[in-house]
Amino acid sequence: MAEIISIGTALPNYCHRQQDIVQLMSKIYNLDATEKRKLSFLYNHSGIETRYSVIDDYSLQQQDWDFIPVNNKSPFPSLDERMKIFDKEALPLSLNAINNCIEGVIKANQITHLITVSCTGMSAPGLDLQIAEALNLAPNLFRTSVNFMGCYAAIHALKLAKMICDTTPDSNVVIADTELCTLHFQKEYTPDNAASSLLFADGSAAVLVSNFITTPQAISLKGFYSQVAFRGKNDMSWELSSKGFLMKLSGYIPQLIEEDIDALVAAALNHYQANKNDVTHWCIHPGGKKILQVIAQKLALENDDLCFSKTVLANYGNMSSPTILFVLKEMMQKIQSGANIFGVAFGPGLTMETFFASKK
């Protein structure tokens, strides 16, 4: 039996209001009055109130910028410069999430497996080895990494954790999921860049999955199911470049999800040998306000069914892969015994990954 025992989260020091970020991005993009009004409209209707970043510039006056060049004609930081910041900031943020996750439950030396997740920074030795050294974990620790899968990566990591628990006795698996999306905002004003700067944020979540211990709030992982809609492979992508990681985020993504979500949910529920009426809570990755709207409409959900997803989107924005774990943490703290959770997140491919879980 693989159970989620606890979830810990951590946020960077800098909290930015959405209304401040749009002012800054308008300056970076050098927008005229008309384009600025259009961008402000999108920000004001994003469903996001605040976002967190390891960069403080997004709430500062132009003369105080540090990461972003004060001179608008200067190039943005290179990939090397962005990765130096990731290397500096990702480890302490991850450790905060892990400590919040395991505190009062297990000691660090009881961790048997470590899975790290990120699509916004890479190095070798990587975050997995940095965490293992910082926590003084066993040198023969089982560790693996999930990289470059985008917003659905946390579900894939949960799937790996369940596989470990199903095959290895006395397992305490920790997933450390950290994304610093705001490192990769771009200077050029394009639809993709504007969408990225409107939605994405930084954050970290850690999950303890075990077949060895349990708690009253534990959630049992029942199964996983995924599908890929290949016709959407050019509508959501994430590529490396000398200027940082470049996101392509087409305006057609909500439409693609709207077209496919019914069939996906039906196939997933059939795989889980369940029906829609068995689902008491919907753990939907809040990729954006429009995505939540089309899912609610297509699945005929009640307004309160997506309350956890909407709250996370409003307070933190889209942090990529940790976001759904923030939603699940909210659920763990508030749902009652006997609840059945259907979770889904989306990413490059267009990949749609689901999980089914229940609370004792």
Q: For residue 125, give every residue at least 6 positions away whose Cβ sits within 8 Å of its Cβ, in sequence order, or none.
A: none
Summarised one tens digit per residue, pLDDT across range 51-70 is 999 999 998 888 889 999 88
Classify residue 116: in a domain, yes or no. Answer: no
DSSP class of residue 299 equals: T
Structural domain total, the chain: 1
Give pLDDT, residue 132: 97
Range of the domain at 268: 219-359
Contact present, 316 and 289 (Cβ < 8 Å): no
Contact present, 182 and 140 (Cβ < 8 Å): no
Token pair in block for residue 185: 């905002």
Classify residue 310: in a domain, yes or no. Answer: yes
**109 versus 246: which is more confidently predicted?**
109
Summarised one tens digit per residue, pLDDT across range 256-292 is 787 788 888 999 999 999 999 999 999 999 999 999 9
Strands (DSSP E) contained in 41-195 are 50-53, 113-118, 142-147, 172-180
Give pLDDT, residue 141: 95
The pLDDT mean for the chain works out to 92
Contact present, 77 and 87 (Cβ < 8 Å): no
Classify residue 86: in a domain, yes or no. Answer: no
Query: DSSP for 232-260?
Result: GTTTEEEEEETTEEEEEE-TTHHHHHHHH
Classify residue 111: in a domain, yes or no. Answer: no
Please report, for the domain that includes residue 234, its CATH number: 3.40.47.10
Classify residue 299: in a domain, yes or no. Answer: yes
- Kind of pairing, strands 281-284 and 340-347? parallel
Contact present, 128 and 97 (Cβ < 8 Å): no
Classify residue 175: in a domain, yes or no. Answer: no
